[in-house]
């Protein structure tokens, strides 16, 4: 193995949620879920605040909102 080779880990699961929180300071500290529509969509990213409610990527949006009823879904 090459000693100069480096392996890094980046938490991309929360990336899009972090971008939304950066662009919208009012979302800071709030459970934020980025994904598709509530009836058939899935979670693309969840903020660390939303993860405290058990929300994870690829979870059905409907299940995510049932886990955290006060979760914010940014409109774009």
DSSP 8-state symbol, 60: B
The domain defined by 12-67 folds into MutS, DNA mismatch repair protein, domain I (3.40.1170)
66: which 2 tokens?
């049932």
Cα atoms in the 13 Å half-sphere on the side-chain side of 52: 10
Q: What is the pLDDT of residues 20-74, one digit of tens each?
A: 999 999 999 999 999 988 888 999 999 999 999 999 999 999 999 999 989 998 8
Domain-wise residue ranges, the chain: 12-67
Decide if 45 contacts 16 (C-beta within 8 A). Answer: yes
Prediction pTM value: 0.79
**Tell me, what's the pLDDT at 66?**
93
6: which 2 tokens?
């480096």
- Position of tokens 């990527």? 57
């Amino acid at each position: 193995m090459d000693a100069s080779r480096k392996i890094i880990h980046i938490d991309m699961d929360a990336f899009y949620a972090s971008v939304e929180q950066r662009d919208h300071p009012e979302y800071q500290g709030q459970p934020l879920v980025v994904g598709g529509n509530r009836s058939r969509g899935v979670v693309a990213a969840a903020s660390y605040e939303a993860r405290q409610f058990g929300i994870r990527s690829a979870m059905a949006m409907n299940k995510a909102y049932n886990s955290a009823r006060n979760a914010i879904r940014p409109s774009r």
